[in-house]
Amino acid sequence: MFSRNDNHSGWQQQPWLTAILCAASLLFFLLFGEASATLVYDRTAIAQGAIWRLLTGHFIHCDLPHLLWNLLPLALIGGLLEQRIGWRRFADVTIVSCLGVSSWLWFGRNELLLYCGLSGMLNGLLVVLLVRIWQENRHPMLPLIGLVAVLKIIVETTTQEAIFTHLSWAGFPEAHGAGLVTGILFLVITSEAKRSVNSS
């Protein structure tokens, strides 16, 4: 699925794209404030042509705790993943995870008018990271981390309450599940594509 040679400059490269994404999220918050009306996922605005919100909405946050709770895992998960698969593949995973969550919001939850935050797409990155590290060392903690992530999503979706955070906007835990499923689909599709290339 992945190999250490996926990135020409080596798997130990510096995670510059992750740093840029963290800086962009922080900059958006400082410049535009909470839940920027120009960049947030807004169903009405998207229907009128503002399709950039399908991506930018994930990097907008409703308050300072929301921003901090998202930036820390982005720096950790994104940094570890980008070092292993290179910035180009990391960009692919990030875009697909954002669009996967946005697609779920658009087609699965048409009553939801506004959404913001990284937590949904971060679950897509987490799935890919866990699989990548599993390929490296088969550490027994990795399946446990994956199981905890799934259980957290189930509990939050069932109770409609975030376990660790209390934000100024109502949480939407189903987006976490959408991100996780998107990460799995990304792995399946890229694995099949690689298999097809190798067999041709």
Q: What is the pLDDT of residues 19-39, one digit of tens each?
A: 999 999 999 999 999 999 999
- Residue 5 — very low, low, confident or very high, per pLDDT cuts 50/70/90? very low
All domains of the chain, ordered by start, with CATH? 16-199 (1.20.1540.10)
Q: Indicate the pTM of the whole model.
A: 0.87
Write the secondary structure of the chain as one string of H (helix), E (strand) and C (coil): CCCCCCCCCCCCCCCHHHHHHHHHHHHHHHHHCCCCCCCCEEHHHHHCCCCCHHHHHHHCCCCHHHHHHHHHHHHHHHHHHHHHHHHHHHHHHHHHHHHHHHHHHHHHCCCCCEECCCHHHHHHHHHHHHHHHHHHHCCCHHHHHHHHHHHHHHHHHHHCCCCCCCCCCCCCCHHHHHHHHHHHHHHHHHHHHHHHHHHC
150/141 Cα distance (integer angstroms)? 14
**11 or 132: whose pLDDT is higher?**
132
Interval 23-80: pLDDT, tens:
999 999 999 999 999 999 999 999 999 999 999 999 999 999 999 999 999 999 999 9
